[in-house]
């Protein structure tokens, strides 16, 4: 899966028995994930951090809150360097979690909360929620189809989450689980840089004759020793990219053209030539300048335009 698709922000609430007891999950790493929604439409992840940071009159919490802007862990989950800790997100006196997973959700599972409603962009929040669940399943070898119960499934007589939030977007728990599975199957896009290819000898020689050599003579007449040396090296780089021997009878292995040379040749000479041809409506000349620039780009292993 794409493991760097989103950033996980970790900003932990203070340790207090009623919200963050500070004890580790007895399972070490999470054994399953409970899909919650906040039941608090319009409240963001940051607002829930503030709420639980200040909560004093009851025991409740969850490890993660996700909205359309961020994935916020307010209690360690084990995705970072801190080991996973308990949160109070499912009542101990319900038995569905024990029957299905062999222990209490608070002791072996993460509570992951979806923020929704109000000004929260649900599709963006949902994408982050799906990715985070997929990331956790991938990290700990969990099957999303069997290891992500909803809060409603664990406490059906009292709770309706995460179904109530999903319903606002005409989604079901089944949709969520399949979307998580699909997210786990996504592969990162690998961009392979083009391989540098030899510059045609006639292109190299034309560039030297029409642009580089006249500029070299002008620099020499002006007493510009640095300029003459640079242009001399530029001409030789073109020759080596085209496998033109620098000395008669010498070998001429291909040498990739420096990208800085391509940029100079294009912006100093070819681009102005193309612009002038465009003003004249000379499509043949425009094609010539464009093709020449692309020959240079290929010789430097750059993408063509």
In this predicted model, what pLDDT tens digit does every residue of 29-78 receive, in sequence order? 999 999 999 999 999 999 999 999 999 999 999 999 999 999 999 999 99
| pLDDT of the residue at 159 | 96
| pLDDT of the residue at 248 | 83
Cβ distance 125 to 66 under 8 Å?
yes
d(CA 265, CA 300): 12
Per-residue pLDDT for 281 more than 90?
A: yes
In this predicted model, what pLDDT tens digit does every residue of 162-200 receive, in sequence order? 999 999 999 999 999 999 999 999 988 777 778 999 999
| 180, burial (CB in 10 Å: exposed 0-12, middle 13-18, buried 19+) | buried
Q: Work out whether strand 109-114 and strand 64-66 pair parallel, antiparallel, or are unpaired.
A: parallel
Structure tokens at 176: 């969520």
- For residue 27, the SS3 value is coil
Best CA proximity match to 98, nearest among 85, 86, 107, 89: 107
d(CA 251, CA 244): 9
Per-residue pLDDT for 113 more than 80?
A: yes
| pLDDT of the residue at 305 | 84
**What is the residue-averaged pLDDT of the chain?**
96
pLDDT tier at 278, thresholds 50, 70, 90? very high
| pLDDT of the residue at 247 | 87
Sheet with 8-10: list strands edge to edge. 8-10, 71-73, 64-66, 109-114, 32-37
Task: Tell me what percent of the residues of the chain surpass a pLDDT of 70.
Answer: 100
d(CA 131, CA 69): 13
d(CA 43, CA 48): 7
């Amino acid at each position: 899966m794409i493991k760097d698709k989103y950033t996980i922000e970790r900003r932990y609430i203070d340790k207090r028995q009623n919200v963050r007891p500070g004890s580790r999950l007895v399972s070490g790493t999470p054994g399953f994930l409970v899909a919650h929604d906040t039941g608090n439409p319009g409240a963001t992840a940051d607002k829930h951090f503030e709420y639980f940071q200040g909560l004093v009159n009851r025991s409740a919490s969850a490890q993660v809150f996700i909205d359309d802007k961020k994935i916020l862990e307010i209690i360690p989950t084990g995705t970072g360097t801190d080991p996973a800790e308990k949160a109070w997100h499912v009542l101990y006196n319900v038995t569905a979690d024990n029957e299905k997973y062999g222990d209490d959700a608070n002791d072996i599972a993460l509570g992951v909360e979806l923020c929704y409603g109000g000004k929260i962009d649900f599709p963006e929040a949902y994408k982050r929620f799906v990715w985070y669940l997929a990331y956790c399943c991938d990290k700990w070898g969990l099957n999303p189809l069997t290891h992500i119960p909803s809060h409603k499934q664990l406490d059906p007589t009292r709770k309706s989450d995460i179904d109530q939030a999903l319903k606002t977007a005409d989604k079901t728990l089944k949709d969520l689980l399949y979307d998580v599975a699909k997210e786990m199957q996504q592969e990162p896009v690998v961009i392979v840089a083009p391989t540098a290819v030899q510059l045609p000898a006639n292109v190299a020689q034309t560039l030297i004759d029409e642009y580089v050599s006249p500029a070299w003579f002008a620099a020499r007449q002006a007493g510009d020793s640095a300029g003459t040396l640079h242009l001399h090296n530029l001409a030789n780089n073109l020759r080596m990219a085209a496998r033109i021997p620098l000395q008669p009878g010498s070998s001429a292995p291909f040498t990739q053209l420096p990208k800085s040379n391509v940029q100079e040749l294009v912006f100093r000479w070819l681009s102005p030539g193309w612009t002038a041809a465009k003003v004249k409506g000379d499509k043949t000349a425009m094609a010539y300048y464009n093709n020449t620039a692309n020959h240079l780009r290929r010789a430097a292993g750059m993408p063509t335009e």
